[in-house]
């Protein structure tokens, strides 16, 4: 290690899968108390990994199972995201379970910019569940069919042949401030396969004040029925310019919350099983439970597995 530098442990895990090299990859950087990283340093590290997100897992301040976690994309910090939450939870809580000889469940807490997130890791199933922060907001602005077709020209021909069958307008929904998605329902998996990445994107102009400083992605979905346990099953794809994400926990939570509010009843608990990333060859399986209060979302629980595929050290300059 060079003078004035620090070597930090890192791991790469594939999230929302039990199979290595499927799901959504995530870099996790372990930050000890002795190391203080600036925003610029964290951003450079995230850019170096060049994954959709990198988390910085800060060492516990006390003996309590609580950690401060920062999430960075390659170009910005974000307040919350689903796959970094589940991936980091599986990584650290499985380690705690192994150290302590726990064979059932381990509970913990992450502190994100968006707020605290309660966690539970099931040792037997190797899956984590997180009660995620949410402030579900549907914007006054809607996205027209023409805007979607302009971004996805491969849909134009099937639409004019009557094969898509989606509506004329699509909602913009924020799960928290800073994370928003256009929810576009499609008629079939064949139509979903026509979706492509694009060099164009939707502007955040016209979104509701105080909610317009946000990531804005297109989340396409197809209803595929019910699971044996009665969960609503969906296939999805998330596109933002040239990015397609293998798994987007925040978008999946956003969609589940919206469907629950528009189709559920007060006091109802609704389960969703969402499959994403199939068209990329990186299948991801996301579980979500939504508990409705009186005309509001009372609780959202996001669940999934992760598998570690890589570990090592990186060097940062102090």
Distance of CA 167 to the CA centre of its chain: 26
Computed on alpha carbons and rounded to an integer, the radius of gyration of the chain in Å comes to 20
The DSSP H or E segment spanning 91 is helix 82-100
* Maximal C-alpha separation, the chain: 66
Query: Which residues belong to the active site?
Result: 53
d(CA 205, CA 112): 27
- CATH 3.10.310.10 applies to domain 5-131+306-317: yes
Using a 10 angstrom Cβ sphere, with 0-12 exposed, 13-18 middle and 19 or more buried, the burial of residue 65 is middle
Distance of CA 208 to the CA centre of its chain: 22
pLDDT of residue 158: 65
d(CA 316, CA 309): 22
CATH superfamily of this structure's domain 137-295: Diaminopimelate Epimerase; Chain A, domain 1 (3.10.310.10)
Give which of 304, 300, 302 is closest to 135, Cα–Cα. Answer: 300
pLDDT of residue 163: 60
Write out the chain's pLDDT in tens, 318 residues: 445 689 999 999 999 999 999 999 999 999 999 999 999 999 999 999 999 999 999 999 899 999 999 999 999 999 888 999 999 999 999 999 999 999 999 999 999 998 899 999 999 999 999 998 899 999 999 999 999 999 998 888 766 665 666 778 999 999 999 999 999 999 899 999 999 999 888 999 999 999 999 999 999 999 999 999 999 999 999 999 999 999 999 999 999 999 999 999 999 999 999 999 999 999 999 999 999 998 899 999 999 999 999 999 999 987
pLDDT of residue 1: 45
Using a 10 angstrom Cβ sphere, with 0-12 exposed, 13-18 middle and 19 or more buried, the burial of residue 9 is middle
Domain ranges (residues) in the chain: 5-131+306-317, 137-295
DSSP string, 257-273: HHHHHHH--TT-EEEEE
d(CA 37, CA 15): 25
Give which of 111, 108, 99, 1 is closest to 56, Cα–Cα. Answer: 111
pLDDT of residue 165: 63
Q: First and final CA of the chain: distance in angstroms? A: 11
pTM of the model: 0.91
The DSSP H or E segment spanning 305 is strand 297-317
DSSP string, 125-184: TTEEEEE-----EEEEEEEEHHHHHHH-GGGHHHHHTT-----SEEEEEEEETTEEEEEE
pLDDT of residue 168: 86
pLDDT of residue 22: 97
d(CA 106, CA 125): 12
DSSP string, 182-228: EEEE-S-HHHHTT----S-----TTSPTTS-SSEEEEEEEEEEEE-T
Q: Each residue of 118-137: b (16+ CB within 10 Å) or e?
A: ebbbbeeeebbbbbbbbebb
Identical topology for domains 5-131+306-317 and 137-295: yes
For tokens 């396969």, what's the residue? 193
């Amino acid at each position: 290690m060079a003078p004035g530098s620090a070597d930090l442990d890192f791991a790469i895990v594939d999230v929302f899968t039990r199979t290595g090299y499927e799901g959504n990859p995530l870099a996790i950087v372990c930050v000890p108390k002795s190391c203080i990283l600036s925003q610029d340093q964290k951003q450079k590290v995230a850019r170096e990994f060049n994954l959709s997100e990198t988390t910085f897992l800060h060492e516990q301040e006390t003996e309590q199972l609580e950690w401060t976690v920062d999430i960075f994309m390659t170009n910005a910090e974000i307040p919350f995201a689903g796959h970094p939450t589940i991936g980091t939870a599986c990584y650290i809580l499985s380690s705690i379970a192994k150290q302590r000889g726990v064979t059932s469940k381990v509970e913990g807490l992450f502190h994100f910019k968006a707020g605290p997130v309660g966690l539970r890791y099931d040792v037997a199933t190797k899956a984590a569940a997180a009660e995620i922060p949410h402030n579900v907001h549907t914007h006054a602005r809607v996205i027209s069919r023409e805007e979607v077709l302009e971004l996805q020209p491969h849909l134009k021909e099937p639409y004019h042949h009557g094969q898509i069958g989606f509506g004329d307008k699509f909602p913009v929904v924020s799960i928290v401030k800073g994370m928003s998605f256009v929810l576009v329902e499609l008629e079939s998996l064949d139509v979903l396969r026509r979706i492509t990445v694009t060099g164009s994107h939707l502007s955040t102009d016209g979104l509701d004040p105080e909610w317009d400083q946000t990531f804005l992605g297109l989340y396409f979905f197809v209803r595929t029925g019910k699971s044996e346990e009665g969960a609503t099953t969906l296939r999805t794809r998330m596109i933002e310019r040239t990015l397609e994400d293998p798994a987007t926990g925040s978008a999946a939570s956003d969609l589940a919350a919206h469907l629950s509010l528009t189709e559920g009843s007060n006091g109802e608990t609704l389960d969703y099983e969402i499959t994403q990333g199939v068209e990329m060859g990186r299948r991801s399986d996301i579980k979500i439970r939504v508990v409705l209060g009186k005309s509001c979302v009372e609780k959202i629980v996001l669940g999934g597995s992760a598998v570690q595929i890589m570990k090592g050290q990186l060097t940062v300059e102090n």
